[in-house]
Amino acid sequence: MKSLTVFLVLILLSGVFAANSRAQEKKEQLWLIGTEVIKPEMMNQYMEINKELQAICKEVNFPFDFQFWTSGDFKYYLWYPVNSMEDVSKIEAAWDSVVVRYGVEKFKRFNDCIEYTEDKFATVRFDLSYEPESPRLKADERLYCRWQAFYLKKGKEKEMEALVQKANAALKAKNINDATYIGYGRIGFESPVMILWTFAKSINDFWDQETKNWELIKDNFKDFDNEAITYFRKEEKKDTWWLKDLSYSKSK
């Protein structure tokens, strides 16, 4: 969300999920998330200005972390871990200060790049997520994220959560060392929707590990999958890549 002409926020996330889980011992983490859809012919200008804005964030100690992701189809996603929805106005005010320092007239070039934006909220549920004791990947190796949105039939959330817990137990029993994070889409999403995020070094790494892990768990998960399908209205999948150089952490 870069304000003055409010813009920003959607999708998940690199090592921040694990950091919030371990360090804060929270049951869930709320995320302000947004999508920027870019005009194809303005891509170079969009990337150039984002790098300049990110440099200013470092200079002024921007008070909120954010993760920058793309799905490679002219859509860019920003994720802010927040304590409540009331943090939106604080983030907007922080961006106002950055934009003023950058130059309000100069910033108009940024708005020229944007086709449209979306605002959404989601929660990561650590009690439903699977985090192995010895993860295969370090936080900065999570360069790719496969996210899946499962739009549930109304009233099926508890049954789905119970199934997720059984699946997590099966993953632990087989010593699967790839983490899986699960949460819910909130404001801005069709409800109810459960979202699953899985990380890898690359899309090829994801499919290699998926194949290896499936061989270990397929006997259990065939029944899990058959049951889960009865709770779904529809399913969406997306490949996303982390833009590390455009992401920001106030602690670094």
DSSP string, 76-108: EEEEEEESSTTHHHHHHHHHHHHHHHH-HHHHH
Extract the tokens encoding 248.
């920001």
Pairing label, strands 232-242, 67-70:
antiparallel
Query: How confident is the model at residue 40, as a pLDDT?
Result: 97
Can you tell me whether residue 198 is helix, strand or coil?
Answer: strand
Query: How confident is the model at residue 2, as a pLDDT?
Result: 61
Task: Supply the angle between the helices 203-229 and 157-173 in degrees, to the nearest 10.
Answer: 130
**220 pLDDT band (50/70/90 cuts)?**
confident
| Least confident stretch, 38-47, 120-129, 164-173, 216-225 | 216-225
**55 pLDDT band (50/70/90 cuts)?**
very high
Do 233 and 153 meet the contact criterion of CB atoms below 8 Å apart? Answer: yes
Instruction: Give domain limits for the chain.
Output: 16-121, 127-240
As a whole number, mean pLDDT of residues 145-150 equals: 95
pLDDT in tens, 20-37: 444 446 789 999 988 899
Q: Do domains 16-121 and 127-240 have the same CATH topology?
A: yes
In the chain, what percentage of residues exceed pLDDT 70? 89
User: Dihedral of the CA atoms 130, 134, 139, 144 (nearest 10)?
Assistant: -60
Can you tell me whether residue 201 is helix, strand or coil?
Answer: coil
Query: How confident is the model at residue 206, as a pLDDT?
Result: 97
pLDDT in tens, 69-88: 999 999 999 999 999 988 99
Do 146 and 206 meet the contact criterion of CB atoms below 8 Å apart? Answer: yes
Average pLDDT, the chain: 89
Pairing label, strands 75-82, 67-70:
antiparallel
CATH code for the part of the protein at 16-121? 3.30.70.100
**14 pLDDT band (50/70/90 cuts)?**
very low
Going from the C-alpha of 111 to that of each of 39, 46, 96, the distances in angstroms are: 10, 9, 14
Pairing label, strands 67-70, 193-200:
unpaired
CATH code for the part of the protein at 127-240? 3.30.70.100
Can you tell me whether residue 251 is helix, strand or coil?
Answer: coil
